[in-house]
């Protein structure tokens, strides 16, 4: 499903609403909501909206378990830290216990850190991880989480996590095997700089080695939320725009 929204704010509002709705459904059905957060800059506003009323009171934060889809191996205080960004915009502002937060920590080598996070996922889910919601972004080169074009991590079908070196930094990422077992995978895509790649990923031929975001085909629902700038080059997709500014 592709939702096209007038601007960044209305796309963020739709993303935050979807997070809250999926959490309500998961908690009603299974008593817990497990999510993997994305990093980068795009989700900042959606996270802030979740930390503000009315959504803050809609989500049963004591039943939320927070993981990450990927992390850059940088200190927590670095502006590049995905954990740091999520703590600043969301996690420090809602009643979520520290024991419900499962960050990717690069305390050891990237390889060992990836293996350790894989073990944490296996232990928590008692087997293959099944997230209720994996939030994702789209890089201008077609990457998502830290699944970058041409990376060996794209071929990783056995393990839940992988370490990669990309854009000048070591990273740990969950693999497409994990993302594709999710009940919902939600991409948030904003800005004219993403227009060309969004068109290639959604409307172009299947080239996952060059366009890793195409690997994401969850057993559950796939949602693309884009603002009108990011969606401006789409031709084959229905383009009704929703959301006020």
**Tokens (6 digits) for 56:** 């803050």
Q: Shortest approach of ligand 6PG to residue 143 CB, angstroms?
A: 6
**Residue nearer to ligand 6PG on the CB measure, 25 or 48:** 48
What is the smallest separation between the CB atom of 167 and ligand 6PG, expressed in angstroms? Answer: 7
Do residues 136 and 186 touch, judged by C-beta distance below 8 A?
A: yes
Closest separation in Å from C-beta 4 to ligand 6PG: 17
Binding site for ligand 6PG (CB under 6 A): 38-42, 69-70, 72, 82, 137-139, 143-145
Rounded Cα distance, 228 and 236, in Å: 15
Name the residue with the smallest CB distance to ligand 6PG: 137
Residues comprising the chain, all counted: 245
CB atoms within 10 A of CB 107: 8
Q: Between 22 and 135, name the residue whose CB sits nearer to ligand 6PG.
A: 135
Of 41 and 57, the one with the shorter C-beta distance to ligand 6PG is: 41
- Taking the complex as a whole, the smallest distance from the CB of residue 138 to ligand 6PG amounts, in Å, to 6
Q: Is the dihedral of CA 147, 92, 67, 46 positive or negative?
A: negative
Q: Of the two residues 69 and 103, which places its CB atom closer to ligand 6PG in the complex?
A: 69
Our CB check for ligand 6PG shows the closer of 30 and 190 to be: 190
The nearest distance, CB 12 to ligand 6PG, in angstroms, is 11
What are the C-alpha distances in Å from 62 to residues 65, 100, 123, 128, 240?
8, 8, 20, 23, 37
Q: How many CB atoms lie within 10 A of CB 192?
A: 12
Q: Which is nearer to ligand 6PG, 12 or 62 (CB)?
A: 12
- Alpha helices, H only, 2-155: 8-30, 44-50, 55-58, 82-89, 110-125
- Shortest gap between Cβ of 71 and ligand 6PG (angstroms)? 7
Contact residues for 52 (Cβ-Cβ < 8 A; gap 6+) = none
């Amino acid at each position: 499903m592709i939702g096209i929204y007038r601007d960044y704010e209305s796309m963020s509002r739709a993303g935050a609403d979807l997070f809250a709705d999926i959490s309500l459904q998961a908690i009603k059905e299974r008593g817990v909501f497990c999510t993997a957060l994305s990093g980068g800059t795009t989700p900042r506003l959606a996270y802030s909206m979740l930390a503000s009323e009315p959504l803050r009171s809609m989500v049963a934060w004591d039943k939320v378990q927070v993981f990450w889809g990927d992390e850059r191996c940088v200190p927590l205080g670095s502006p590049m830290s995905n954990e740091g960004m999520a703590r600043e915009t969301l996690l420090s502002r809602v009643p979520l216990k520290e024991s419900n937060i499962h960050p990717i920590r690069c305390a050891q080598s990237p390889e060992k850190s990836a293996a350790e996070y894989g073990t944490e996922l296996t232990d928590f889910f008692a087997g293959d991880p099944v997230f209720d919601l994996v939030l994702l972004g789209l890089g201008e080169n077609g990457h998502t989480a830290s699944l970058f074009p041409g990376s060996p991590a794209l071929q990783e079908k056995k393990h839940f996590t992988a370490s990669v070196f990309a854009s000048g930094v070591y990273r740990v990422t969950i693999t497409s095997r994990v993302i594709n077992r999710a009940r919902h995978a939600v991409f948030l895509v904003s800005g004219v700089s993403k227009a060309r790649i969004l068109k290639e990923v959604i409307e172009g031929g299947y080239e996952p080695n060059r366009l890793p975001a195409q690997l994401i085909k969850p057993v559950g629902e796939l949602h693309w939320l884009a603002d009108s700038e990011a969606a401006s080059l789409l031709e084959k997709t229905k383009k009704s725009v929703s959301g006020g500014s």
